[in-house]
Structure 1
Amino acid sequence: MLDTYKKYFRFLVKYRGMFVLFVLMLTVLGVINAINPYFYKLFVEALPEKNYQTILNILILYVGVNLLETGIDVIVYLLGDAVILRAARDVRERVFKKIQDLDFAYHMTNSSGSLISVLKRGDLAYFGMFHELNGLYRILVHLILMLVMFGAINGQIAWLMGASFVISAIASKYLLAYNLTTRKAFNKQEDNVSAVIVDNLINYETVKYFGKEVKEQRRLSKAFVLWIKTLWGFANSFRLIDIVIGLISAAGLWVVLHRTFTLYMSDVIQFSDFILILGFVTSF
């Protein structure tokens, strides 16, 4: 897995300046997005005082931060596209060169259809990996800021939230390993289906000349049997992730909010702190 990430980042850091700027802006975006619940605390503290100017200042700041978030979000996507489009082009050129460097025997013993399927899947995977890792990075920024905020209010809340995240991360490790196993099994069958379809099109004249249309249709139908089976396994692995992570998240939410409620009833924290914590855990 580490080797995969090294290969992935090798093409991105080729455009180091733009990539670093992209990461910096993504970090700023993550921070701005994460601090929104803090405004709930400010509003709760200011509204009972009925100080028009104070409330108006908070409102202006809140709207301004949201406008800033929108602008930075656009910039982040522009920078990200500028990096990933160039990197994806470089990846395709490198893969194409690799295929050209392979000997004739390799191409004779491998289906053109399966190779095309692998190439297409590789293109989609590179873009998908880029966006998924960006999302995970924003979650990490959100988590760090949230733990800092919770620690400033009460250390117990920060530890409980951190423990919930660690348990989710450990469970995710095994769930993703299972997901990858089912994905590999499905990819193999997807390549087989693509091989039948593409090879049939490449040899279309031969198939028509010898009247093998029915035989080719049966080949495709047979290939789809395992394709459907492995696709169900792959799809159900996501349902398993949803169930397990959902249960862990719900348990963590209960523990954190119950402890927060207990601290509030004991006058350890203020009502505005309770709203802040509630805002963070429901937006995470």
Structure 2
Amino acid sequence: MRAYADNDYPSNHKTDWKVIAGLWPYLSEFRGRVGLALVLLVLAKLATVATPVALKYIVDYLDQNRGGELLLWIPVVLVVAYGLLRFGATLFSELRDAVFARVAERAMRRVSLRIFRHLHNRELAFHLDRKTGGLARDIERGTNGISFLLRFTLFNIVPTLLEILMVAGILLVVFNIGYVLAILVAVVVYVLFSIKVTEWRTRFVREANARDNQSNSRAVDSLLNYETVKYFNNEAFEADLYDQDLQDWEQARLKNRLSLAALNTGQALIIGVALIVIMAMAVREVASGEITLGDFTMINAYLIQLFIPLNALGFVYREIRQALVNVERLFGLLGDKPAIEDAPDAAPLRVTSGEVTFEHVHFAYRPDRPILEDVDFRIPAGHTVAVVGASGAGKSTLARLFFRFFDVDAGRITIDGQDIRQVTQDSLRSAIGVVPQDTVLFNDTLYRNLAYGRPDATEAEVYQAARMAHLESFIHSLPDGYETRVGERGLKLSGGEKQRVAIARVILKNPPLLILDEATSSLDSLSEQAILGALKEVSQQRTTLVIAHRLSTIRDADTILVMEGGRIVESGHHNDLLARAGHYARLWEQQHHGGEDGGTEADVTVD
């Protein structure tokens, strides 16, 4: 996933409404709570609007009875009513927030789970291209944006508009249309100014987000490759690159801040001019006796009461625009369909004997670079077929196609006659166990990493899998044993130890089909012999595809396929292939003379 520049985020009001409409499912789940929250919202606004009326009567009573007989209980009752109205406005607002809290938090939970599942359903190519740091930022901002939109759209924009209408109605009935017109003009000018300037500065918000993604991706990528940075003494180089990204972020944030200052200043000017005009009108009418001092106080209270939330409305609109940008990106991720999906009529895979066939398979990661051409072979049930060849020959691609990380361009792959594209991915992958060349572990305990092969396995089964993978003596030598934490990506373990964990996981999973992709490449000779025995035991009665570099590890395979340039150029048993003095014999000779570990290639590139 790349960093997105400003022009990657076209401003589109149709998209904005589509994003807002996409929030409805999260509201519809709690219709009752939303309805109750709206009722409480109206009650809070009624109390808020009634407060200046009580204040008017208090001032008028005190003003009209100065120097005369004053009945103390009347202003006391009015003051109590004023205080209760103030309290009621706050109480109903807090109750509204408490009632709605479950809706917003559940929405964040739902969308977080949805995006998590969606990302796991995306094809391997997406995850090979993504930038983890930027993706994490997008998810974090998007989920927070959904909560913000739900809360503030309902509880800031709607109540502010409701309050404007209520106040305008009271001023029209109690006073004259001049006050209503002045307020409406101020509101319209304020809203139009806020919208226009906010639209102008939205590009700076998008650019700041893009630069934030870029710098965060750089930091995460560098830290994940900590050892590589150290190997080449490139700490300063990495810091310089990170600082360049931070400089871009700083500039984008500066533009954002300056444009925000311009917006705030303009909004304050509009409010200030409106206050001067309306208060001047009220002062003139008080002086002429057209309205009372209490009326003047009520008008002043309404203006303060109205322009404070209106000013907040400007802030909310700015934040809503930013939240829309964030949620748009999140919904964009959710809208991208996985390249590998189950067929509409996909059925669960039924493994009877476990025969696997590759029928005239063609495949290319890119149209201009074919990887496999007319690959055709069969793995009989319970047999082991090994694939060897130079790096880039297409060996690992066979395993990826078999596991359906990618789909073939032509031909098909079948298991017991069932095209793997016509069965569910879940059932297919449940039937296949993989020991990869590069094992990555979770930052958790050894036990949990082992049990990941079958999370519902018993302790006894986990311990047995560890024994079969020749891990038990190593684990018992650790101070914390099975509770030892393995570190980020398993960095606290050696390559061989991680690979034995991978083997133990597959033993625990107990699948009918196996893929061994350089399963012993990180082991020393003694460990390799021990693991080969375990793998041989595990692969018995299972259909096994072995991707191999060390030819000595696959001498006992039922069939060995030699690949070159994406094609199978030789096949047969070890001794037969040596007797032919062809490609396999040359590879064997190279490894034999160069040492078992010193062949001409290590086969670690992406085929």
The 3-state SS of whatever aligns with 1:35 is helix
Aligned AA (1:82): R
Shift of 1:140: 1.7
How big is the alpha-carbon RMSD for the aligned residues of Structure 1 and Structure 2? 1.7
Q: Deviations over 1:153-193 (max 9, x none)?
A: 21111111111101111111112112321100100000001
Q: After superposition, what is the alpha-carbon deviation per residue over 1:25-63, rounded to whole angstroms, capped at 9, x for unaligned?
A: 122112212322222201112213322121121122122
In structure 2, what residue type is equivalent to 1:165? V
Which of 271, 283, 293 is the aligned partner of 1:249? 271
More helix per residue: 1
Aligned mate of 1:89, from 105, 109, 117? 109
Q: Kindly provide the amino acid, as one letter, of the partner of residue 31 in structure 2.
A: R
Q: Is the 8 A contact 1:182 1:233 kept in 2?
A: yes
Deviation per CA, 1:71-127: give whole Å up to 9, x if none: 323311211211101111111112222322322212222211110111111122223
- The one-letter code matched in structure 1 to 2:112 is R
Corresponding letter in the other structure for 1:96: F
The aligned runs of 1:171-210 (5 Å cut-off) are: 171-210=193-232
Contact 2:45-2:159 within 8 A present in 1 as well: yes
| Deviation by residue 1:120-158 (Cα, 9 ceiling, x = unmatched) | 111222233334322222322221221111111211111
Q: Which has the larger radius of gyration?
A: 2
How far apart, in 1, do the equivalents of 2:300 and 2:283 lie? 10
Q: Tell me which residue corresponds to 1:106.
A: 126
Contact preservation (8 Å) 2:193, 2:267? yes
**1:147 pairs with one of 158, 168, 179:** 168
- Counterpart in the other structure of 2:303: 281
Matches of residues 233-248 of structure 1 in structure 2 within 5 Å?
A: 233-248=255-270
Distance in 2, matches of 1:93 and 1:176, equals: 32
* Alpha-carbon offset, residue 17 of structure 1: 1.1
1:168 alignment partner in structure 2? 190
Q: What is the rounded CA distance, in whole Å, between the counterparts of 1:160 and 1:210 in structure 2? A: 69
The worse-fitting range, judged by mean Cα deviation, of 1-10 and 271-280 is: 1-10
Which ranges in structure 1 are unaligned for 5 or more consecutive residues? Answer: none
Q: Indicate the SS of the match to 1:259.
A: helix
Matched, 1:4 2:4: no
Distance in 1 (CA, whole Å) between partners of 2:19 and 2:258 is: 25
When normalised by structure 1's length, the TM-score is 0.94
The within-5 A match list for 1:4-83 is 4-47=19-62, 48-49=64-65, 50-83=70-103
Contact 2:204 2:252 in 1 (8 A): yes
Query: How many residues are treated as equivalent by the alignment?
Result: 284
Task: Name which of structure 1's ranges 67-76 and 35-44 shifts more when overlaid on structure 2.
Answer: 67-76
Identity, in percent, stands at: 19
Q: 1:95 to 1:189 in 2, by over 3 A?
A: same
Return the structure number with greater relative CO, CA threshold 8 A, min gap 6.
Answer: 1
Q: Measure, in 1, the Cα distance between the counterparts of 2:56 and 2:164.
A: 18
Which structure features the higher share of strand residues? 2
Distance 2:42 2:231 in 1: 61
Report the Cα offset of residue 272 of structure 1: 1.8
Cα distance in 2, alignment partners of residues 53 and 88 from structure 1 = 52
**Any stretches of 5+ residues in structure 2 without a counterpart?**
1-15, 307-607
The one-letter amino acid of 1:274's match is F
What one-letter code is carried by the residue in structure 2 that aligns with 1:147?
A
- Name which of structure 1's ranges 223-232 and 49-58 shifts more when overlaid on structure 2: 49-58
Checking the alignment, whether the CA contact within 8 Å between 2:229 and 2:235 is kept in structure 1 is: yes
> What is the rounded CA distance, in whole Å, between the counterparts of 2:152 and 2:90 in structure 1?
20
The residue identity in structure 2 corresponding to 1:141 is L
Deviation of 1:24 (Å) = 1.6
Task: Give the whole-Å Cα distance in 2 for the aligned partners of 1:9 and 1:183.
Answer: 25
> How many Å apart are 1:273 and its aligned residue?
1.4
The whole-number CA distance in structure 2 between the counterparts of 1:229 and 1:217 is 18
For 1:163, the aligned partner's letter is V
Q: Which moved more, 1:6-15 or 1:240-249?
A: 6-15
The separation in 1 between residues aligned to 2:146 and 2:270, in whole angstroms, is 30
Give the letter for the 2:119 counterpart: I
Answer whether contact 1:31 1:141 (CA < 8 A) is retained: no
Equivalent residue letter for 2:218: V
- Choose the corresponding residue for 1:138, options 159, 164, 167: 159
Aligned pair partner of 1:258 in 266, 270, 280:
280
